[in-house]
């Protein structure tokens, strides 16, 4: 394999074989196969291809002879090879000669059977990136390569044609770096409903001749840049043509999904990630790859600028600086254009200070009727489909909160339990005012739709709460109508005159270490479904906690301040970027015990194992001991090939 460029400095574990290069002649695993002896050993100069096969138990590349009937093999070629009486696919990752193969393996060498496709699916750079990703996420390299290999993509429902909210931006710190082919890292803050084309277009215009930009984005938020090659085509023919154009170097801009960082673009000019705060970028399948992290590594490997674009970020600009400092790397240039003028008007109403009907306040009915009277469209946002019950004091109107962490309290027969930290309190009085009159309050989108239909009579009220085509269609704004929706509404570029956040308090009290953080990102996306200030957009936030930092951030358009608060909490609790987290789920208690022991031996702080519910454990370790931790976890996983084990690095919602 080609050595990494001198400019690459990927933060990866050491020592090999998890490094970016493979040492020539290093001993490799050879899977036993039912073959007869060959004459390969007679000529030590016979060329051999090292191939990573797509078979789960095999983690090291295997050696295969080149076949005259399969010409033009190169690093990254997708091939089929014989293995135990069948043919499996694999990726060519390096070349060597028979002289470098262990003597006991030479008699069993077999030739490559065929080439799966003539289309380039990987190259030396993306192969190195796959090796680094496998080490970071404690997963097989074949799984990473399969993740990035083109295949029939799911049907993507794109937003209907329309005029996007595009605000051209001047970003000299980034465009100058792109023009000079200089590495830089930046976070570009947009307003919640902005089209990223306003940022991507000037970046693309700054590319030197022959260079290509790469954009990683959720399909529904793909920037509408003229001439861009999108890998979201709806037919196999269109997808094939788009991939060929992207890997040929003829494209000026390539827009792709999660697999984008592994697209073998030969002349990369910059890498951008749109809507970087969305959990969409994290794959739910093992080994739970994060496209944002791999995209940053791809930009660093190619020594090109890396840009995050969105209204908020999982870590924000200060978090980027902190992460680099922890890894011992120098600061980067950052630019955060001010976009507050694009926000809709955000109004916060305190439910403890006004009459309410169930979960809705009097201001809600006034605002909705005002919009409906002028045939405007209304979105009532409630990210809850079932019946979730919380406690509200009848005396002061406040939701019962945990005295330890502020999380919501849920009732049982004789006590109240915190959904976040598990603290239990007697079921006798309101923690805020001491009154003994508390009531249960719970509502989901179905119940809310029924209540609104009864309250507004002839007004059309529809529900959009699922992932199917019917829900997508239902999330369309209705002139003079109301849409009651969950998070499905924010995944499509619909714009409403009025957006009401019915119950943000429950969302911000979600259990889990990052529950509040992820809920805030969803609320920001919901705000983005309102029209901008120039179009008269209005957002109404109903809350019993108007002083909550997240509510203040929405009202004042100051996401950066709230990001700083979240970052300080991460530092106190020792979450990334200050420490690395690994979460393991497995139904076998003995395997969990072995992994817990392996993590403890690496000086990691272990929470669990938890055997009830969904069995699992969480480990937190220092960045300096991460390589040792990954090696230990992979060793336990390899020792139990028949046991289903899910390993997730830096999980979105840890135990």
Task: Give the count of beta carbons closer than 10 Å to the beta carbon of residue 146.
Answer: 18
In terms of pLDDT, which residue wins out, 552 or 5? 552
Task: Answer whether residue 51 shows pLDDT above 90.
Answer: yes
Comparing 42 with 185, which gets the higher pLDDT?
A: 185
Q: Report which of residues 564 and 25 the model is more confident about.
A: 564
Average pLDDT over residues 495-517: 81
Q: Where are the beta strands (DSSP E) in 292-376?
A: 306-310, 345-350, 356-357, 360-361
> What does the alpha-carbon distance between residue 600 and residue 619 come to, in Å, rounded to a whole number?
9
pLDDT over 50 (residue 535): yes
pTM greater than 0.85 (yes/no): no
- Quick check: 511 and 419 in contact, CB under 8 A? yes
Percent of the chain clearing pLDDT 90 (strictly above): 25
pLDDT of residue 10: 43
Domain 40-148 annotated CATH 3.40.1160.10: no
Tens digits of residue pLDDT in 306-344: 998 888 876 655 666 666 666 666 556 565 555 555 778
Q: How many residues does the chain have?
A: 655
Task: Specify the pLDDT at position 215.
Answer: 96
Query: What is the per-residue pLDDT for 655?
Result: 41
Out of 3.40.1390.10, 3.40.50.300, 2.60.40.10, 3.30.1360.200, select the CATH number for domain 172-341: 3.40.50.300
Going by DSSP bridges, is the β-strand pair 78-83/86-97 parallel, antiparallel, or unpaired? antiparallel
CATH number of 342-569: 3.40.50.300
Average pLDDT rounded to a whole number, residues 544-553: 90
Residues 6+ apart with CB under 8 A from 514: 575, 652, 653, 654
Q: How far is it, in rounded angstroms, from Cα 585 to Cα 348?
A: 41
In angstroms, rounded to a whole number, what is the distance separating the alpha carbons of residues 155 and 647?
A: 29
Residue 578 vs residue 373, higher pLDDT: 373
- Selected residue with higher pLDDT from 369 and 135: 369
pLDDT tens digits along 226-237: 889 998 876 777
Query: What residues does each domain of the chain span?
Result: 40-148, 172-341, 342-569, 578-649
Residues in contact with 562: Cβ distance below 8 Å, sequence separation at least 6, in sequence order: 520, 549, 550, 552, 553
Q: What is the pLDDT confidence band of residue 561, given thresholds at 50, 70 and 90?
A: confident
> Which range has the worst mean pLDDT, 84-88, 106-110, 194-198, 588-592?
194-198
Write the burial class of residue 407 (CB in 10 Å: 0-12 exposed, 13-18 middle, 19+ buried). Answer: buried
- At 595-641, the pLDDT tens digits run 999 999 999 989 888 887 778 888 888 878 888 888 888 888 888 88
298-307, 317-326, 583-592: lowest mean pLDDT where? 317-326
In the structure, how many helices (H) and strands (E) does the chain have? 16, 28
Residue 145 has pLDDT above 80, yes or no: yes
What pLDDT does residue 314 have?
67
Q: Which residues pair with 253 in a beta bridge?
A: 213
What sign results for the dihedral spanned by CA atoms 87, 92, 94, 96?
Answer: positive
> How far is the C-alpha of 496 from the C-alpha of 330, rounded, in Å?
44
State the Cα torsion 288-293-298-303 to the nearest 10°. Answer: -170
133 touches 289 (CB < 8 A)? yes
Rounded-to-integer distance, Cα 273 and Cα 217, Å: 6
pLDDT bin (cut points 50, 70, 90) of residue 7 is very low
What pLDDT, on the 0 to 100 scale, is given for residue 31? Answer: 38
Confidence of residue 567 (pLDDT cuts 50, 70, 90): confident
Query: Tens digit of pLDDT for each residue in 426-472?
Result: 665 665 666 665 555 557 788 888 889 888 988 888 888 766 545 55
Q: Is the pLDDT of residue 370 over 90?
A: yes
Residues 18-36: what's their mean pLDDT? Answer: 37
Residue 52, pLDDT > 80, answer: yes
pLDDT score recorded for residue 21: 37
Statement: residue 26 has pLDDT above 50: no
558/162: higher pLDDT: 558
3-state helix, strand, coil in the chain (%, to 5): 30, 20, 45
Kindly report the average pLDDT of the chain as a whole number.
Answer: 78
For the ranges 64-73, 76-85, 406-415, the lowest mean pLDDT is seen at 406-415
Strand pairing class (498-501; 538-543): parallel
CATH 3.30.70.1710 describes domain 578-649: yes
Q: pLDDT class for 411, splitting at 50, 70, 90?
A: low
pLDDT at 205 (0 to 100): 92
Q: Which helix (H) or strand (E) holds 91?
A: strand 86-97
Which residues have a Cβ under 8 Å from the Cβ of 321 and sit 6 or more positions away?
A: 331, 332, 334
What single-letter DSSP state applies at residue 352?
A: G
Fold agreement (40-148, 342-569): no
Rounded Cα distance between 262 and 85, Å, is 31
């Amino acid at each position: 394999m080609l050595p990494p460029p001198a400019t690459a400095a990927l933060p990866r574990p050491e020592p090999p074989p998890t490094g970016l290069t493979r040492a020539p002649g290093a001993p490799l695993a050879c899977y036993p196969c039912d073959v007869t002896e060959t004459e390969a050993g007679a000529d030590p100069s016979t060329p051999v291809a090292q191939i990573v096969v797509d078979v789960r138990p095999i983690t090291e590349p295997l050696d295969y002879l080149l076949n005259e009937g399969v010409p033009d093999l190169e690093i990254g070629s997708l091939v089929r090879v014989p293995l135990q009486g069948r043919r499996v696919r694999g990726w060519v990752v390096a070349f060597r000669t028979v002289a470098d193969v262990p003597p006991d393996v030479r008699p069993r060498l077999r030739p490559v059977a065929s080439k799966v496709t003539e289309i380039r699916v990987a190259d030396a750079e993306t192969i190195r990136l796959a090796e680094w990703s496998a080490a970071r996420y404690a997963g097989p390299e074949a799984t990473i390569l399969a993740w990035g290999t083109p295949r029939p993509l799911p049907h993507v429902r794109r937003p209907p044609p329309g005029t996007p909210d595009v605000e051209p931006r001047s970003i000299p710190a980034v465009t100058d770096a792109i023009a000079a082919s200089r590495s830089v890292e930046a976070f570009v803050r947009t307003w919640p409903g902005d089209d990223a084309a306003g940022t991507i277009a000037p970046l693309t215009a700054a590319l030197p001749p022959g260079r290509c930009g790469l954009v990683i984005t959720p399909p529904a938020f793909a920037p509408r840049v003229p001439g861009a090659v999108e890998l979201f085509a709806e037919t196999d023919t269109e997808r094939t043509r788009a991939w060929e154009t992207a890997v040929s170097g003829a494209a000026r801009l390539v827009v792709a999904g999660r697999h984008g960082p592994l697209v073998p673009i030969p002349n990369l000019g910059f890498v951008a990630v749109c809507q970087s705060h969305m959990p969409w970028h994290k794959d739910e399948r093992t080994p739970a790859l994060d496209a944002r992290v791999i995209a940053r590594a791809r930009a660093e490997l190619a020594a090109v600028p890396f840009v995050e674009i969105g209204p908020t970020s999982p870590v924000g600009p200060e978090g980027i600086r902190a992460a680099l400092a922890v890894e011992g790397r120098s600061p980067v240039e950052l630019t955060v254009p001010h976009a507050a003028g694009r926000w809709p008007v955000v109004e916060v109403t305190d439910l403890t200070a006004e009459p309410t009907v169930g979960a809705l306040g009097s201001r809600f009915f006034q605002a909705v009727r005002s919009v409906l009277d002028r045939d405007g469209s209304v979105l009532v946002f409630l990210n809850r489909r079932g019946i979730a019950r919380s406690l509200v004091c009848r005396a002061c109107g406040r939701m019962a909160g945990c005295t330890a962490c502020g999380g919501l309290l849920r009732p049982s027969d004789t006590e109240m339990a915190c959904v976040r930290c598990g603290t239990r309190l007697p079921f006798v009085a309101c923690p805020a005012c001491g009154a003994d009159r508390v009531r249960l309050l719970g509502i989901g989108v179905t119940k809310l739709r029924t209540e609104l239909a009864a309250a507004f009579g002839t007004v059309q009220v529809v529900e959009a709460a699922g992932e199917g085509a019917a829900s997508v269609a239902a999330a369309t704004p209705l002139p003079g109508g109301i849409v009651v929706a969950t998070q499905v509404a924010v995944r499509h570029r619909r714009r409403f005159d009025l957006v009401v956040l019915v119950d943000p308090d429950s969302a911000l009290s979600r259990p889990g270490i990052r529950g509040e953080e992820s809920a805030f990102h969803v609320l920001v996306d919901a705000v983005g479904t309102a029209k901008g200030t120039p179009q008269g957009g209005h957002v109404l936030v109903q809350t019993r906690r108007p002083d909550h930092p997240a509510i203040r951030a929405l009202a004042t358009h100051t996401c950066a301040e709230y990001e700083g608060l979240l970052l300080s909490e991460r530092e106190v609790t020792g979450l990334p970027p200050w420490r690395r987290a690994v979460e393991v789920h497995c139904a076998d208690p003995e395997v969990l015990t072995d992994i817990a022991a392996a993590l403890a031996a690496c000086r990691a702080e272990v929470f669990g194992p938890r055997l009830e519910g969904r069995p699992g454990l969480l480990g937190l370790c220092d960045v300096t001991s991460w390589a040792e931790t990954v090696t230990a976890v992979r060793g336990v996983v390899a020792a139990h090939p028949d046991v289903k084990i899910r390993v997730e690095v830096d999980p979105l919602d840890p135990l």
